[in-house]
Structure 1
Amino acid sequence: MEDSRIALPIGTTLDRYIKKKQDEFQYATGELSQLLRDIALAGKVVNREINKAGLINIGGAIGTQNVQGEEQQKLDVLANIRFIRALTKGGEACAIISEEDEHFTDLKNDGKYVIAIDPLDGSSNIDVNVSIGTIFSVYRRVSPLGKPIEKEDIMQSGIEQVAAGYLLYGSSTMLVYTTGHGVNGFTYEPSLGEYFLSHPDMMIPEDGSIYSVNEGMYNSFPEPVKKYITHCHDQQYSARYIGSLVADFHRNLLKGGIYMYPPTEKNPDGKLRLMYECNALSFIVEQAGGMASTGTGRILEVAPQSLHQRVPLFIGSKRMVEKAVSFF
């Protein structure tokens, strides 16, 4: 038997890919590459904790609420600790905006990047074994090094992102990210402890036949959204809604579709957070040829007014989002 058939190649590792592509980044001095490695490492640790959650009683609610008034899950807190610890030790981040913390964390160092992160999105689905994820955005620090973190470092619009990505913890664990030069996906191989390039140059289909929205709240949707949902029914689109943002987004990225979290009577500004959910996924989807809108404007151009600002989200295949927006 030929040697090549005995030992098939296993692909390009994340570390090797980052080094190879580092020169595409205009501030190519190594910090961003190390930052992505720190996030990937924390993702490995969180993946381990999630996979053994049912065995060691770290699933379920912890009995407290986060700044959004949402019940915190034990793994929310654990994931937050893991990512903050990894980013602190890495030294490349100077500040962290987290869904789990009311105020940003000033790491009091000379790091050049600000990280906005949802450490564990969809964590309420852990107990029923549904895919969940981590979402992150990377911004370049604006103020001079050696000075205190300024508001201008923190309150940057999505168009200023230098990198963004997500980790999906499911039947396999994936890291998908962009630095503004396309989107690439890496699948974690646990026996080797490495991420391998599995989805190079990801592009979302320009059109699709999947719509993802919680139709249980249909009566509280604004009229333009109701009209678009009727359009989806007329076109016999498939309704697919997991209730875990990363999982719904990832499926539509691969297959083509639209994810919607519109305004409702209860949440007139929408429910998803601009800084660490919508901006990251919008950067990714645009790099993959898709579109993201509030319904009335481009997500990446929204000027943030607060750390935990909420916005409506219509994101996915370009033609589907354009059609949805046209009803407004």
Structure 2
Amino acid sequence: MYSDQMSLADALATWSGESDERQALSEIVVALAEAGVRLSKAIAMAPLEPPAVTITPSAGEGTNASGDEQKPMDLYADKVVLDALAGLDVAAFCSEEADEPVTLRAGGRYVVAVDPVDGSSNLDVNAPVGTIFAILPAVDSEDQMPAILQAGNRQLAAGMIVYGPSTVLMLTVGEGTDLYVLDLNTHHFRLARGGIQLPTEANEYAINASNARHWGPGIAEYIGDLVRGKSGPREQAFNMRWLASLVAEAYRILTRGGVFLYPADDRKGYENGRIRLVYEANPISFLVTQAGGKATNGVDDILDLTPIHLHQRVPLVFGSATKVDRVRRYLVDPNLQNASSPLFSSRGLFRD
């Protein structure tokens, strides 16, 4: 779609053309990317220069609206992103770190949903973290909550910035998924790979196996078959990966294939899954589907779900389409949920 290694701003200018709507949308994406550049430095320097935060948490002492612990970097990043959007065509901003949306511009054409620092607990162990964002059309109302609670298939753009060995931006504007890398010399994102296609076959899966005793029917059997490897019904070996970082897992699967699972389970607070729909599952799912993959809550497509509230949680399964479809079969087919049946021990007909 674009020339090799062109800057994000130039790529978006090419995409925007003479369209006023696209130009305004591009300005928002560039602003979010610039916030990412600032956060990349702040995260790298945090062990030596922790962010100075004077913001009082809004959802309770030291926790956000979802009940998760708030670290100083969470609050700092939230302010950095919010400040970056000032003066742009954004009606409202919502974040994992705030109870309610923040009104920015009356009559703005877009709303922005953000997880400022996904996986912030990884900061203590120098593991990858990231920023996830979604941009949706605003509604003709002072109250923009209906705009924020639109189904994911209404997203106009989505992306994730991963702060790792390189700082990378995965971006979609609904015309494929592109990979940009932060150039440390110019401090701009440059195109590394356009039109990423998620590999269709890979013998890798990502799940937190320490929760196996809490999984319900279907997930336990699916993972059990993978663990059995060549001696099981799949008749091949699989590798498990788990980084405890949604953005890092998504980046690996977008570039190497496989499947990610964060299912619901029987623990308190996990009955409906753990990933936030509006500002985590939806943008990640948009990136994945635009790269030829698939994303569901185990059964239904994530992008077809209409959020009920801002911080709603959902189960999340994404990756290669054939693998995501296979997980669904395990969840809906009773024959695949009975580990004691003869069919379970010799399910050659279910290997596709």
TM (normalized to structure 2)? 0.85
Residue 188 (structure 2) aligned to one of 176, 194, 198: 194
Distance (whole Å) between structure 1 residues aligned to residue 85 and residue 225 of structure 2: 45
Residue 292 (structure 2) pairs with residue 289 (structure 1): yes
The DSSP-based 3-state class of the residue aligned with 1:223 is: coil
* CA shift digits 1:32-82 (9 cap, x unpaired): 1111111011111111100100111349xx971111111111100000000
The one-letter amino acid of 2:296's match is: S
RMSD, matched Cα? 2.0
Distance (whole Å) between structure 2 residues aligned to residue 278 and residue 131 of structure 1: 18
Distance (whole Å) between structure 2 residues aligned to residue 308 and residue 150 of structure 1: 15
1:115–1:136 contact (8 Å) kept in structure 2 = yes
Distance (whole Å) between structure 2 residues aligned to residue 151 and residue 44 of structure 1: 29
User: What is the Cα deviation at residue 29 of structure 1?
Assistant: 4.7
Structure 2 gaps of 5+ residues are 53-59, 230-236, 332-352
Residue 93 (structure 2) aligned to one of 93, 96, 102: 96
Query: Where in structure 2 are the equivalents of 1:153-302 lying within 5 Å?
Result: 153-235=147-229, 236-266=237-267, 267-302=270-305
User: What is the Cα deviation at residue 11 of structure 1?
Assistant: 2.5
The DSSP-based 3-state class of the residue aligned with 2:161 is: strand
The percentage of aligned residue pairs carrying the same residue is 32
The DSSP-based 3-state class of the residue aligned with 2:218 is: helix
Residue 76 (structure 2) aligned to one of 75, 78, 102: 78
2:106–2:142 contact (8 Å) kept in structure 1 = no
Instruction: Decide whether aligned partners of structure 1 residues 150 and 54 sit closer, same or farther in structure 2, where only a CA change above 3 A counts.
Output: closer
1:187–1:198 contact (8 Å) kept in structure 2 = yes
Distance (whole Å) between structure 1 residues aligned to residue 133 and residue 15 of structure 2: 20
Residue 119 (structure 2) pairs with residue 122 (structure 1): yes
The one-letter amino acid of 1:264's match is: D
* CA shift digits 1:91-119 (9 cap, x unpaired): 22110110000111111433211111100
The DSSP-based 3-state class of the residue aligned with 1:171 is: coil
Residue 38 (structure 1) aligned to one of 7, 11, 31: 31
Distance (whole Å) between structure 1 residues aligned to residue 7 and residue 22 of structure 2: 20
The DSSP-based 3-state class of the residue aligned with 1:297 is: coil
| 2:344 corresponds to | none
User: What is the Cα deviation at residue 254 of structure 1?
Assistant: 0.5
2:4–2:192 contact (8 Å) kept in structure 1 = no
Of residues 42-51 and 26-35 in structure 1, the stretch that sits farther from structure 2 once superposed is: 26-35
Residue 50 (structure 1) aligned to one of 21, 43, 50: 43
User: What is the Cα deviation at residue 303 of structure 1?
Assistant: 1.1
2:222–2:330 contact (8 Å) kept in structure 1 = yes
1:165–1:284 contact (8 Å) kept in structure 2 = yes
Aligned residues: 314
Distance (whole Å) between structure 1 residues aligned to residue 4 and residue 139 of structure 2: 40
Distance (whole Å) between structure 2 residues aligned to residue 27 and residue 159 of structure 1: 22
* CA shift digits 1:127-158 (9 cap, x unpaired): 11101101001101121xxx513442221010
The DSSP-based 3-state class of the residue aligned with 1:315 is: strand
The one-letter amino acid of 1:230's match is: G
1:207–1:318 contact (8 Å) kept in structure 2 = no
User: What is the Cα deviation at residue 207 of structure 1?
Assistant: 2.2
* CA shift digits 1:150-200 (9 cap, x unpaired): 442221010100110100000000111101100101000112111110021
User: What is the Cα deviation at residue 10 of structure 1?
Assistant: 8.2
The DSSP-based 3-state class of the residue aligned with 1:55 is: coil
Structure 1 gaps of 5+ residues are 1-8
| 2:335 corresponds to | none
Distance (whole Å) between structure 1 residues aligned to residue 289 and residue 83 of structure 2: 30
Residue 316 (structure 1) aligned to one of 310, 319, 330: 319
Instruction: Decide whether aligned partners of structure 1 residues 303 and 29 sit closer, same or farther in structure 2, where only a CA change above 3 A counts.
Output: closer
The one-letter amino acid of 1:256's match is: G
Distance (whole Å) between structure 1 residues aligned to residue 274 and residue 11 of structure 2: 35
Which protein has the bigger strand share? 1
Residue 58 (structure 2) pairs with residue 64 (structure 1): no
Distance (whole Å) between structure 1 residues aligned to residue 22 and residue 50 of structure 2: 43
* CA shift digits 1:266-288 (9 cap, x unpaired): 21100000000000011111100
